[in-house]
Structure 1
Amino acid sequence: MSIHPLSNWVQRQLPDAHVTVLEKENVIYITHPYGRKLTVIYLCKKMTLNNWYEQQDQYRLASAAPIWILDAPLFIRYSALPEARKARLRGEIPKAIFKETGRCYYWNSRTNRLTIDTLFQTRTIYFQKNGRIRSHNYDFHIPFRQDGDLMDAFLQSGRIKLDRKKR
C-alpha cells in the first residue's frame, strides 16, 4: 500500500513545511517553518499494543506530535450480531489512539476515503444465545457517518478535519 497519496495531501496542506517521506516505514515527517514538528504514521499492518505505546512515546520524546492514520479495511470492523447492527468492533490500538488523542483516523487507500472517529456511545445490547439471554457492551460511532474524500480533509493545529460543506 502506497503512502504517496497521503504525502501528496500533506504537501498540499502545508506547502511551506519541510516534508520527509519514509515509504518503507509508512511515515511522513513534517517540520513547519516556525519549528513545530508533526509525524503522520500510516499503520497498514497489525502491531502489538506495547509496540504502539513505544512508538508513540518515541515520537513524543522527539517533539514530533504523532498523527496515526489506520488502514480502514484492516481496522474498521462491525458487529455481525443483528441486534448490534452498526456497532464498531474496536481493537486495542484504535481504542488506545482514541483514548490518547480523542479521535482516530482511518484511511482507505483504494477509495481514498477518510473516516474520523470523534465520539462513541457505549450501549448494552441484550441477545439470545443457546436459549439464554446474554448481554455485551458495544460501541456506536456518533455520528455514524463521519467520512469523506481525503482531498476534502484539511490539517489544522495538528488535527485532521473534514470540510463539512463538501460532504
Structure 2
Amino acid sequence: MRYHRCNRKNLRLRGYDYSRNGFYFVTICTKGMCDFFGAVRNGVMGLNELGCAVVRFWNQIPVHFTDVVLDEWVVMPNHVHGVVVINKPDVLEGARHEKTGVGARHEKTGVGARHEKTGVGARHGASLHVNRFGPLNPQSLSCIINHFKGAVTRNIHKNYDPHFS
C-alpha cells in the first residue's frame, strides 16, 4: 500500500524559529515520489549514481553551514531522512555535541556545556523551490534544506538528467 501525501499532516510549528539550536528530523521527497536514487533489494538499499550524488551533497552540508552537524541519515529510493543539528556557539558558549544514543559520531568542539536536545521533531517535506513565505533566514533549517536541494538538482541536471526535478 502506497502512502498518499495528502494524508500527511504538516508538522511544522507555526511561529517557531527554525534557526534556533536544536535537532531537526527532516524528510525530503522526490517530485512525484519517483524512485530516482536507487532501489531496495533483499532489504538493502542500493544507491545509483543519483543516490551517490545525494550522499555527497548531504555530507557537504556542514562545510557550507559551520554551525550544523549531521546526525543519523539515510537515502532511500525516493526520499532522504536525516537529523540536522543546528548548534550555534553564540547561543550556548563552548557547546559540545556528544555522541547520541543511536551510534552517531560527531566532532567535539569547545569544553564544558552540552547541547541540549529540543523537543521539536520537525519534518521538512514541502518543496522549497517556490518561496511563498518571504526571504530565507540565513542559517535556518529552510535555508540549509534549500541549499542542499538546489545543489543536488543543479548537479543532477548538469551531469545526469536535465529533466530531473
Q: Where on the TM-score scale, by shorter chain, does this alignment land: which range?
A: under 0.3
* Structure with greater contact order relative to length (CA < 8 Å, sep ≥ 6): 2
Q: Which has the higher strand share?
A: 1
Could you tell me the TM-score, scaled by structure 1's length? Answer: 0.27
Say which one has the larger Rg: 1
Could you tell me the TM-score, scaled by structure 2's length? Answer: 0.27
